[in-house]
Structure formats: C-alpha cells, structure tokens
Amino acid sequence: MKTARRPKENTELNITSMMDMMTIILVFLLKSYSTEDISIAASADLQLPLSTSEHSPELAVNLVVTRSMIVVDGDDILNLTVKPDPENPGVSLPAIPDDEKRGQIVTLLYDRLLEKAEAAKALGANTGVSELDFKGRILLQVDGGMPFSVLREVMYTAGQAQFGEFKFVVYKGRQP
C-alpha cells in the first residue's frame, strides 16, 4: 500500500530582506561617519545657536555657559541665578550672583581658568613641542538665550586669565 509522503518542508531561513536592510544602513552610516575633536552635552539648559560658519573646532579649554551654571572642562564652577530684566517687566534673565564677582571678574571662574593657563604654559615649556604651546584659545559653548551681560563678564574674566582667543561653538546650519 502506498503511503502518501509529506512534502519536505523548507526550513531554511530567508535572510535576503535582512541583508538588504543591513547593506543600505551600512552604506548610509559609512557615509556619515566623522569625528570631532570636541563633544557637547545636549541638554535643555544648553541650546547652541545655528550659524553659517564653516570653521571646524579645535582642542582647547572648554567653557560651557548653560542657563543654570558655568562649567569648565567638565567641572562645575558656579550656579547662575535669575534677575528681572529692567527693560522688560515680568521677564527674568540668567545672571551671575553678585557675591561671585569682584567688579567684572567672576572669581571662581578666574581662578580655574588661570590654573588651566598656567598648566598649559608649563606643559608647553616642559615638552618643547610647539603644538602644545599655550595659545590662549578657549571654546565657548553658550546657550542661545543667554543675555550679553553674562557673556561679557565671562569673556572679561577669561581675558584677565590670559585667554584672548575666543571660539564660539555653534551648530552648523542655515538659519530659517
């Protein structure tokens, strides 16, 4: 008596579609692969503005001014306060606390930046490598809504601490 044979089931995994997807993703990621010398910590307190500038950032002391604090190379320096805007009633703007300032100089920031400047000079002198010489460069990552009064005090303090070459970090792009 003949018995009906069950047709052999094909149990091989068809990975053609997955290969398709992986190849396309791989090509796209290879195209967008790039590295930057600096990194930013995106947060609600730090929204960098857009700019059409084409200059790439270089390694330098990283000074971050968010809506709530000032950070130098990852170390928290001081917290910002808020003050009413005299020209716009009801509006508050970030400000550096008065007790943290000596005139236009922000004391804690000045001390830290001066330490960085002295360390960089010592490094350049000890190694004798011209690329490591202190050039007074500082990268400024500032929130877009920061009033110029805070930026002015920060820049003045950095200038007094021997940093005279400012590089404002921005997102590359065309403004609407």
Partner 1 sequence: MAVNRRETATEPLNLIPIMNLVTILIPFLLLSAQFIHLAVIDSTLPAIAPPQAQEEMEEPDKPPLVLSLGITQKGIHVLGADHVLFPDGVPELGEGEEKPPTVPCLSAGKCTGTLDYNWAELTRMLAQIKDEYPDDQNVILVPDSNVPYEILVHTMDAARADQENPNPDTGEAKLLFPFVVIAGGAI
By beta-carbon proximity to partner 1, the closer residue of 19 and 125 is 19
Phi/psi of residue 142, each to 5°? -125, 140
By beta-carbon proximity to partner 1, the closer residue of 51 and 107 is 51
Which of 53, 79, 92, 127 binds partner 1 (CB under 8 A)? It is 53
Which of 55, 89, 90, 126 binds partner 1 (CB under 8 A)? It is 55
Phi/psi of residue 89, each to 5°? -60, 140
Distance CA 126, CA 130 (A): 11
At 108, which helix (H) or strand (E)? Answer: helix 107-127
SS3 79: strand
CB of 44 to partner 1, least distance (A): 16
Which of 61, 96, 155, 161 binds partner 1 (CB under 8 A)? It is 155
Q: How many CB atoms lie within 10 A of CB 167?
A: 17
- Is 139 a binder of partner 1 (CB under 8 A)? yes
CB of 176 to partner 1, least distance (A): 7
Phi/psi of residue 139, each to 5°? -95, 130
| Closest alpha carbon to 51 in 173, 164, 176 | 173
4: left (phi over 0), alpha (psi -120 to 50) or beta: beta
- Is 73 a binder of partner 1 (CB under 8 A)? no
Which of 3, 11, 32, 126 binds partner 1 (CB under 8 A)? It is 32
x/- mask, partner 1, residues 91-130, rule CB under 8 A, reads --x-------------------------------------
| Closest alpha carbon to 152 in 65, 51, 50, 42 | 65
In the complex, the residues that contact partner 1 under the rule CB under 8 A are: 12, 15, 18-19, 22-23, 25-26, 29-30, 32-36, 38, 40, 48-58, 85, 87-88, 93, 139, 142-149, 151-152, 155-156, 159, 164-176
